Amino acid sequence: MAKTPVLTPQAEDFPRWYQDVISKAELADNGPVRGTMVIRPTGYALWERMQREVDDRIKATGAENAYVPLFIPESYLHKEAQHVEGFSPELAVVTHAGGKKLEEPVVVRPTSETIINSFFAKWVQSYRDLPMLVNNWSNVVRWELRPRVFLRTTEFLWQEGHTCHATEDDARDYARRILHEVYEDFMVSVLALPVLVGRKTARERFAGATNTLTCEGMMRDGKALQMGTSHELGQNFAKAFGVQFSAADGGREFAWQTSWGVSTRMVGGLIMGHGDDNGLRVPPRLASVQALVMVVKDGEGVGEAAHKLAAELGAAGVRVAVDDRTDTPFGRRAVDAELKGIPIRIEVGPRDLAEGNVNLARRIPGTKTPTAIGAVATAVTAALTEDQKALHDEALARREQGTAEVASIGEAAEAAATGWARIPWSAVGPDGEAKLAEQAVTVRCLLRADGSVPESGDEDGLVAIVGRSY
């Protein structure tokens, strides 16, 4: 009798495969309220590692962490017209509390530009206070019509940075610094996802911003996922909330601002960017457990050897755990480790141990190699480095193979059925972008011909990246 596959094959039904991975790898469950999610320990461990890596990079740019409230007076959102228009379909509004109707409805935070600016107006007094660089790790609520765990949920976790600067140039430079030094570096070097960084069109720009910069990743089904964004806000919110400072020449000026964020959507990007028909494949630099030492079955000295190996690996800087649950069949445990994407399994059994060996199973290339006990630490550290690079290179090759050079809107829409298209922006323009949108195809970002990020959407020779998105 043929073995029933644990997961739906990607080629058969990619969305079903995605849901299977989330369930079988024990990443998350649907919450009791439509569109919410319960993140299980395995999924939250991924998010914690993401947080730590991103947070370290944010602090390296000079920003400090703070916290602002979840509830925002509804009147705050009406102070910036484009902002309220952009978010109004997604708002959750509290009208009653404490057994009575509120005098003013309260919005459950969809993003924090409005409330943080009400405090920037108090905190920013002089040019000596600038730049003011604040980051906030929190949850937000956006009422999604078509929720999907990690990708689009009614409530999700994220970081959102908010800054004030004395000049437009300083704000522009900082928004780009976040894009490249924080987001792009993290996504490429830790997530092993070769994101494209570019400029959003006016149609795709964040509500209330003057410019939005984005990191776009190609998933294994050829669709695009917006992994993170960094926005220049100009003086729009500063003027709406009175964020002014005394300049060096004695005059009063409005601050120039940025905001930027990444979210638990990156967990979805990790799943869809690297996962295969056997489950997750977690990049070694991200994995909370890089190597799992597994006792195959009880035997003379097996448990002691497993724990000794784990200690040696830990001393070598490897994040390691021991699985000695011999009351659970080894095959089941191995499948579970594979589903969860643990980069390396070190299988310790009585027979191999008697010969001075263990089996080194590598999740990313899918190999299993007998390895001398004395060589395990060296072999594991080398394999982790190799496999991190292998994941990145595989994803980059897939993106390059899945991106077509086209000259017309029709060709772009056709290419977007299976991947991305590169097309001169002059051949698309706002009118062509609207026509593509009618076919659920979007301009993901604009780039210069050399791949760099343009200063303006009006530059000559820009290239549009076109595709379907999540």
The answer on pLDDT for 310 being more than 60 is yes
Contacts of 359-363 with C-beta under 8 Å, sequence gap 24+, read: 361/334, 362/387, 363/281, 363/282, 363/337, 363/338, 363/387
- With tokens 């959507």, the residue in question is 265
Q: What pLDDT digit, counting tens, does each position of 227-242 carry?
A: 999 999 999 999 999 9
pTM: 0.95
Q: How far is the C-alpha of 136 from the C-alpha of 45, rounded, in Å? A: 20
Q: How far is the C-alpha of 199 from the C-alpha of 210, rounded, in Å? A: 11
Vertex 312: Cα angle to 309 and 313 (nearest 5): 85
pLDDT for residue 1: 36
pLDDT for residue 84: 65
The answer on pLDDT for 4 being more than 70 is no
pLDDT for residue 236: 94
- Give the SS3 label for residue 67: coil
pLDDT for residue 2: 40
pLDDT for residue 145: 86
Q: What domains are defined for the chain?
A: 14-274 (3.30.930.10), 291-384 (3.40.50.800), 403-467 (3.30.110)
Please name which of 389, 421, 383 lies closest in space to residue 402, comparing C-alpha atoms: 421
The answer on pLDDT for 125 being more than 90 is yes
Q: What pLDDT digit, counting tens, does each position of 376-428 carry?
A: 999 999 999 999 999 999 999 999 999 999 999 999 999 999 999 999 999 99
Question: Considering only 72-86, 130-144, 229-243, 431-445, which range has the smallest mean pLDDT?
Answer: 72-86
Q: What pLDDT digit, counting tens, does each position of 42-68 carry?
A: 999 999 999 999 999 999 999 999 999
The answer on pLDDT for 3 being more than 90 is no
pLDDT for residue 300: 83
Q: 103 phi and psi, to 5 degrees?
A: -65, -35
pLDDT for residue 171: 98
Mean pLDDT of the chain: 96
